[in-house]
Amino acid sequence: MKSLSIRILAIESSCDETSAAVCVDGIISSNIIANQAIHEKYGGVVPELASRAHMQNILPVIQEALSSANCQISTLDAIAFTKAPGLIGALLVGTCFAKSLSLALNKPLIGVHHMQAHVLANMIANPRPSFPFLCLTVSGGHTQIVLCESPTKMKVIGETLDDAAGEAFDKSAKLLGLPYPGGPLIDKYAAVGNPVFDFAEPQVPGLNFSFSGLKTSILYFLQKQQKEDPGFIQKNLPDLCASIQQRIVSILMNKLKKAVKETGVKETCLAGGVSANSGLRKTFTELGQKQQWNTYIPAFEYCTDNAAMIAITAYYKYQNNEFESLDTSPTARAEW
Ligand code: KG4
Ligand code: ZN
């Protein structure tokens, strides 16, 4: 017999986190995330190793998500998975597992777009934004300003022309000799530094972003300084991190300000891994107070990749009867 509640098991495996979550009537009951430390020594995610680690992690992660939600597998109403975008081998692991479960349990399958899910992470807990809202989604692979009219009606109104904000953090960190992923380390050192170095803000028309020029100007600056003093980076690490972080944050905030002006929408959200950055969170919140916007940021565990955001998105899709057939395939890139 079908239960009255809607219980969804969601799986996320698009990059280097294997995650599973259970959501009951839009409330997250569990969200288990297994990180893959293996990539650290290679200075970036190695796709083949990510797929293998997903294969090892997926069963225990799902079992833990079900048990910590106190959920019997037979009571599930649907199985959701990340369909796109991401590393294709990594996506295939989650997709195949979700398809097998759907077939074995005879329950519907829901495919979720990872970037839509990052945005809807803002709908997981109170206070939730009301529609329409603007979401600045900043991750390792994307930088977008999204105008959201409903959970399923969203439009990208600005995006990066080259590197994503997370890449800007990670590549800058690499230039400073910091290990991957460098974003959180820049955040840590920036907290004890001052933004005394001025890196130029790129002039990009409209609501689009560009970060590759910033990376080049940091590279040339560091090369010049290190030539004069080989200990320059070491001596100035906190100030360098504070300067890089401040510039990335100001690029992001200036475009968001422009988007609010153009759309008239003052409900504003952050999403994606970079929204874990303390400088961005603080500046965004202060800017919102100054400009009289309402600002929302997902809890830390829902900023970086997680299956809870896939589950909440699937909950909306379930109510819209948006299901996938068993011959569905994931895609590395996908418009939405
Ligand atoms: O959303 P996410 O977990 O994965 C993708 O979908 O890409 O984002 C990962 C990105 C990485 O570039 C990482 O360095 C960055 O988020 N990141 C941060 C911080 N925490 C994660 N960047 C700056 N400051 C942080 N505290
Ligand atoms: Zn992501």
229-279 pLDDT, tens digit each: 999 999 999 999 999 999 999 999 999 999 999 999 999 999 999 999 999
> CA 27 → CA 36, 123, 152, 302, distances in Å?
27, 10, 18, 13
Nearest ligand to the CA of 164 is 1
Give the tens place of pLDDT for each residue, 181-227: 899 999 999 999 999 999 989 999 999 999 999 999 999 999 999 99
pLDDT at position 4 is 74
Per-residue confidence at 315, pLDDT binned at 50, 70, 90? very high
Reduce the DSSP state of residue 149 to 3 states and report it.
Answer: strand
Per-residue confidence at 3, pLDDT binned at 50, 70, 90? low
**Dist CA 228 CA 91 (whole Å):** 47
Q: Best of 35, 91, 304 to mutate for ligand 1, by most ligand atoms within 8 A of CB?
A: 304
For residue 273, what are the contacts with CB-CB under 8 A and spacing of at least 6? Answer: 138, 139, 140, 166, 183, 303, 304, 305
Residue with CA at minimum distance from ligand 1 atom 24:
277
Reduce the DSSP state of residue 252 to 3 states and report it.
Answer: helix
Q: Is the pTM of this model over 0.85?
A: yes
Nearest ligand to the CA of 141 is 1
The ligand 1 atom at the shortest distance from the C-alpha of residue 118 is: 1
274 lines ligand 1 (CB under 6 A): yes
Q: How far is the CA of 277 from the centre of ligand 1 (A)?
A: 8
Give the tens place of pLDDT for each residue, 135-193: 999 999 899 999 999 999 999 999 999 999 999 999 999 999 999 889 999 999 999 99
Residue with CA at minimum distance from ligand 1 atom 8:
273
298 lines ligand 1 (CB under 6 A): no
170 lines ligand 1 (CB under 6 A): yes
pLDDT at position 306 is 97
Q: How far is the CA of 105 from the centre of ligand 1 (A)?
A: 35
Residue 1 confidence (pLDDT) above 70: no
Residue with CA at minimum distance from ligand 1 atom 7:
140
Give the tens place of pLDDT for each residue, 270-307: 999 999 999 999 999 999 999 999 999 999 999 999 99
pLDDT at position 57 is 96
The ligand 1 atom at the shortest distance from the C-alpha of residue 166 is: 12
Q: How far is the CA of 140 from the centre of ligand 1 (A)?
A: 5
Nearest ligand to the CA of 298 is 1
Q: How far is the CA of 320 from the centre of ligand 1 (A)?
A: 31
Contact 179, 40 (CB under 8 A): yes
279 lines ligand 1 (CB under 6 A): no
183 lines ligand 1 (CB under 6 A): yes
141 lines ligand 1 (CB under 6 A): yes
pLDDT at position 320 is 95
Residue 106 confidence (pLDDT) above 90: yes
**Dist CA 19 CA 8 (whole Å):** 14
pLDDT at position 208 is 98
- Which of 12-16, 98-102, 194-198 shows the lowest per-residue confidence on average (mean pLDDT)? 12-16
- Which of 43-57, 90-104, 199-213 shows the lowest per-residue confidence on average (mean pLDDT)? 43-57
> CA 138 → CA 57, 85, 105, 219, 270, distances in Å?
26, 15, 36, 22, 8
Q: CA angle, corner 119, sides to 216 and 244, nearest 5?
A: 25
Nearest ligand to the CA of 310 is 2
Per-residue confidence at 134, pLDDT binned at 50, 70, 90? very high
> CA 35 → CA 32, 57, 148, 179, 282, distances in Å?
10, 9, 30, 16, 26
Q: How far is the CA of 118 from the centre of ligand 2 (A)?
A: 7
**Dist CA 145 CA 189 (whole Å):** 28
Q: Best of 274, 280, 309 to mutate for ligand 1, by most ligand atoms within 8 A of CB?
A: 274
- CB atoms under 10 Å from CB of 74, counted, come to 8
13 lines ligand 1 (CB under 6 A): no
